[in-house]
């Protein structure tokens, strides 16, 4: 009788332990699965946050938007990239007039980003701005697009929100060179401010676009006169010039015109490398 009771109690203990063990194992499995799903969801929400800083990432250009913004294909979807630490005059901002050198900055930016292999690099801090745009350094064949725009006077250093930044010192030096040479945006006293740019391209008699147009007209007239004397060849635009010189012409050529040398490299109407 006593043995029977002990046997029954033993069986009950075994059953209780078995039920407790199975419940614990099921709970552990459930928690593990939930954690995996949560991790996967976070990865899908923002793959940018898992991108290592300081490494250039190959991307595909979709289009240039303006002087400091492009659209690219990144991680399988179209993204807008706002250039870190630089600002160019506005040409498409709602409620803002077209500012002097805005179109020139856009054309130069487009020329740069179409000229070779495009890569981007993230810095520390936020990878996106309040509009959802990627914030990045942009390179073509390893050369900084931001540096080119600053050195050539198309952009100013701006939006230093979350220092330190990897290239800030270099960008400041590039900007100083352009300012000292009074290039483009720095050629108009008071035009560049700590908050942006003053004035519109339609300002009477003093816009950069008008000045550029007047300069081109003068150069064209001069070229026509030289052509009449036989010392120079005159072409109305790069399309006409390339019919005779498919790859453009150097400054030593009689067909060279400064108005067709947009990047001021002493070579007019060259085709961008792809």
Residue owning tokens 């070579």: 267
Q: Is 240 a catalytic residue?
A: no
Q: Which of 45, 79, 90, 188 is catalytic?
A: 90
Q: Give 61's contacts (C-beta < 8 A, 6+ positions apart).
A: 70, 71, 72, 113, 114, 118
Residue 82: beta bridge partners? 69, 135
Q: Is 133 a catalytic residue?
A: yes
Q: Which of 82, 108, 156, 188 is catalytic?
A: 82
- DSSP state at residue 239: H
Residue 151: count other Cβ atoms within 10 Å of its Cβ: 18
CA distance 80 to 69: 7
CA distance 11 to 18: 11
Residue 257 contacts residue 268 (beta carbons within 8 Å): yes
Alpha-helical segments (H) within the chain: 2-45, 102-113, 145-151, 168-180, 208-229, 238-244
Distance of CA 175 to the CA centre of its chain: 17
Q: Is 242 a catalytic residue?
A: no
CA distance 160 to 168: 9
Alpha-helical segments (H) within 128-184: 145-151, 168-180
Q: Which of 128, 133, 233, 242 is catalytic?
A: 133
Catalytic sites, residue numbers = 82, 90, 133
């Amino acid at each position: 009788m006593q043995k029977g009771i002990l046997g029954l109690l033993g069986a009950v203990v075994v059953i209780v332990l078995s039920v407790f063990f199975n419940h614990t194992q099921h709970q552990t499995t459930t928690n593990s699965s939930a954690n995996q799903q949560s991790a996967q969801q976070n990865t899908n929400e923002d793959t940018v946050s898992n991108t290592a800083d300081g490494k250039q990432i190959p991307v595909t250009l979709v289009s240039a938007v303006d002087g400091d913004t492009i659209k690219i294909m990144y991680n399988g979807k179209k993204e807008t990239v706002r250039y870190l630490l630089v600002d160019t005059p506005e040409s498409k901002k709602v409620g803002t007039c077209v500012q002097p050198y805005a179109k020139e900055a856009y054309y130069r930016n487009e020329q740069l980003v179409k000229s070779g292999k495009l890569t981007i690099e993230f810095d520390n801090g936020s990878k996106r701005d309040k509009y959802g745009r990627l914030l990045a350094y942009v390179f073509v064949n390893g050369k900084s697009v931001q540096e080119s725009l600053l050195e050539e006077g198309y952009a100013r250093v701006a939006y230093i929100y979350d220092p330190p930044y990897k290239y800030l010192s270099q960008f400041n030096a590039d900007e100083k060179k352009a300012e000292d040479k009074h290039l483009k945006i720095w050629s108009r006293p008071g035009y560049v401010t700590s908050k942006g740019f003053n004035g519109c391209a339609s300002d009477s008699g003093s816009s950069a676009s008008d000045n550029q147009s007047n300069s081109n007209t003068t150069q064209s007239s001069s070229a026509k006169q030289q052509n009449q004397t036989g010392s120079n060849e005159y072409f109305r635009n790069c399309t006409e010039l390339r019919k005779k010189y498919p790859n453009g012409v150097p400054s030593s050529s009689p067909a060279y015109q400064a108005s067709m040398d947009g990047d001021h490299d002493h070579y007019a109407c060259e085709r961008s490398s792809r």
